[in-house]
Copies of this chain bind each other. A is one copy, B any other.
Amino acid sequence: MNTLLINNIEKIKQNVKSWKEEKCKIGLVPTMGALHNGHASLIEKAKQTCDKVVVSIFVNPIQFGPNEDFDKYPRTIENDLELCKKYGVDIVFSPTPKEMYGENKILSNTELTYVCPPYKFVDCLCGKSRPGHFDGVATVVMKLFNIVNPDYAFFGQKDAQQLFILKKMVKDLNLDIEIIPCPIVREPDGLALSSRNTYLSTKEREFALSISKALREIERQYNTGITDANILFDVGFSVLNQNINLEYLEFRDFETFDKIQNVKKNTLIAIAAKVGKTRLIDNIIIG
C-alpha cells in the first residue's frame, strides 16, 4: 500500500484544507496515468513553483468517444506511483469513475452538468474528429480544480488545443488558478512523448517519426524567410511518411486560435495523424 495514494474525494479535500491553513501554495498536475518523462517534467516544474504537489491519475471516461481507446488506454498505476514518489509528489489522487461521477456508467449531458468550452475553439483541429472530447476534458478539469483547489495547474503544450481551451475556461469562469504550460518532451530522435506511443509497432514508430521531422522542416524553412502557410504546408506534407494518415496540419495564432496565412511569432503549427490505428498529435509554436 502506497502512502501517497488517495482515491477518495472527501479525503483529499481534507488534506488540501489543512495545507491551505498552513498557507501552502498547491500545484496540480492532471494526468491520465501511464506516466512518462513528459509528465515528469510537469511534476518537476510544479515542485519548483509550489509547496505541495498533487498528481491526479484518472482515465476520464467522458472525454473518450464511443469508438475510442478508453478500454485499452494503458493503466500502469504501480509504475506511476514509483515515478511520483521519486519526484517528491505529495499526493497521488486516483479516483474511480464511480467516485468522480457517482454512477457506474459513462454519463452524458442528459444527466451530468458539463463545462462546455466555446464552440469556436472546439469545432476545429482535434475537436472535429473527437466530438464531445473537450467538453469532457473541461468538465473533469473543473471537477479536479474544485476538489484539489490548486494555485497552479500544469499542462503539457503537446495538447495545445486543450491548453488553449483550459486557459479560456479559467478566464471566462473567473477561476483563481494559474495555468502553467510546459514544453513538449521528446525522445532523442524527436518523437513527442505520449502514453499512446506504447501502441506503436517498431515499423509504425518509424513512420511516426516523420511527424516531428515535418514540424522541424517547416520551422527550418520558416527561419529561411518563408512565411506563406500554403507553401509551409506543402513542405511539411512532403516530409510525412506515406503510410501515415494525416488528419490535419494547421497554422493558427496561439493568442486567438484564428487560422493564419502568414506565419509569424506565436503561430501554432499542429499536426494530428493516424499511424496504423494509433492517433498521434504534435506541434510547435513559432517564437
- Residues of A whose CB lies within 8 Å of any CB of B are 9, 13, 109-120, 138-139, 142-143, 146-147, 149, 168-169, 172-176
Contacts and interface: CB of A to CB of B under 8 A. Distances in A.
Contacts of A173: 113, 115, 139, 142-143, 146
A21 to B, nearest CB: 9
A148 to B, nearest CB: 10
A28 to B, nearest CB: 13
B109 A146 contact: no
* Number of identical monomers bound together in the oligomeric complex: 2
B116 A114 contact: yes
A175 B176 CA distance: 14
A127 to B, nearest CB: 13
A68 to B, nearest CB: 22
B169 A113 contact: yes
A13 B120 CA distance: 29
Contacts of A168: 113
Contacts of A113: 115-118, 138, 168-169, 172-173
A166 to B, nearest CB: 10
A174 B110 CA distance: 18
A118 B115 CA distance: 11
A196 to B, nearest CB: 27
Contacts of A169: 113
A109 B118 contact: yes
A168 B113 CA distance: 7
Nearest to A109: B119
